[in-house]
């Protein structure tokens, strides 16, 4: 061994360099043939996962927004239902007042009609009483004539009868 540490000769160094170049060329060739397509597949997979994650986050945000909108709408629906009920109550009360007022007006008309009927009935009875008085006076006059009372007696009876009945009855 001639002073060499490892016993390297020129052939061994040359073979080692050729082997290193071959490994380097093989690495480059495999890199283009195997590593790059695998890297591309991995990159596509990573992009797809990232896109799916982003889509999931977006969907989650949309779901949260829809949930909040739904909650607000529920609150508004409750308020709207309460306002509709309140309005219905107000309409019911106004209808109640209107119906009561109409009933009172109708009752007043009925009372007025009854008063008019009573007045007519009162006048009718008064007319019937007058007719009866006239009949009584006629019968009395017939009796006076039948009794052949003298004229002064007849005059006195008629005047007495008229005074009893009253002048206003005959004039109306």
Find the DSSP H helices in 1-150: 10-30, 36-146
- Lowest-pLDDT range of 2-11, 15-24, 93-102, 116-125: 2-11
Domain residues of the chain, as ranges? 10-171
For the chain, the first-to-last Cα distance in angstroms comes to 176
Full-model pTM? 0.37
Distance CA 82, CA 101 (A): 28
84-120: pLDDT as tens digits: 999 999 999 999 999 999 999 999 999 999 999 999 9
Distance CA 108, CA 114 (A): 10
């Amino acid at each position: 061994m001639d002073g060499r540490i490892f016993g390297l000769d020129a052939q061994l160094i040359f073979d080692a360099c050729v082997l290193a170049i071959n490994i380097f060329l093989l690495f480059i060739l495999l890199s283009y043939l195997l590593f790059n397509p695998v890297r591309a597949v991995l990159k596509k997979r990573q992009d797809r996962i990232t896109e799916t994650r982003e889509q999931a986050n977006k969907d989650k945000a949309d779901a949260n927004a829809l949930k909040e909108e739904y909650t607000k709408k529920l609150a508004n629906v409750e308020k709207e239902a309460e306002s509709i009920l309140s309005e219905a109550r107000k309409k019911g009360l106004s209808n109640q007042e209107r119906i009561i007022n109409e009933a009172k007006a109708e009752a007043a008309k009925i009372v007025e009609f009854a008063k008019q009927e009573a007045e007519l009935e009162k006048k009718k009875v008064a007319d019937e009483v007058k007719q009866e008085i006239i009949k009584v006076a006629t019968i009395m006059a017939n009796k006076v004539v039948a009794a052949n009372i003298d004229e002064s007696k007849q005059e006195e009876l008629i005047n007495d009868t008229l005074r009893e009945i009253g002048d206003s009855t005959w004039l109306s």
